[in-house]
Copies of this chain bind each other. A is one copy, B any other.
Amino acid sequence: MPPTEDFAALLRESDLRVTRPRVAVLSAVHAHPHASTDAVIDAVRVTLPEVSHQAVYDSLHTLTAAGLVRRIQPSGSPARYESRTGDNHHHLICRSCGSIADVDCAVGTAPCLTASDDLGYDIDEAEVIYWGTCPGCH
């Protein structure tokens, strides 16, 4: 995981103010891929015990909007975040234990974005979730 200064640099590159909560959140997401908001809050409080949940929510929104972090929102479970962005990978989610794994796109680099017929929509992202049972759960 990159050191703190690198996270600060990432923030600056996106024209975001460098604040302690943001650095801590960014670092937490890098350290815990697919962590839920709650898990991020816990992780952040290890180094920054006084952060409010609101600051974490705000930071996650800002970072998501800036593209530094990606939000995953599987049906029926709270939002989760990951640091791999822009590399067109998808997710494998276990119905029984909720574990999430990364899979590279089966189709290739970006053809994923092509629907059979776009109906006039201007598509900017294809989200693919494979639902199943993980090796540990059967």
Question: A124: CB under 8 A from chain B?
Answer: yes
Say yes or no: is A116 at the interface (Cβ < 8 Å to chain B): yes
- How many chain copies? 2
Quick check: is A90 within 8 A (CB to CB) of the other chain?
Answer: yes
Interface residues of A in 99-138 (CB under 8 A from B): 101, 103-107, 113-135, 138
- Residue A22 at the chain B interface, CB threshold 8 Å: no
CB contacts (< 8 Å) of A126 on chain B: these are: 128-131
Measured CB to CB, the nearest residue on chain B to A121 is B132
**Docked complex Cα distance between A106 and B138 (Å):** 31
User: CB within 8 Å of B: which residues of A?
Assistant: 71, 73, 75-76, 79, 90, 92, 94-95, 101, 103-107, 113-135, 138
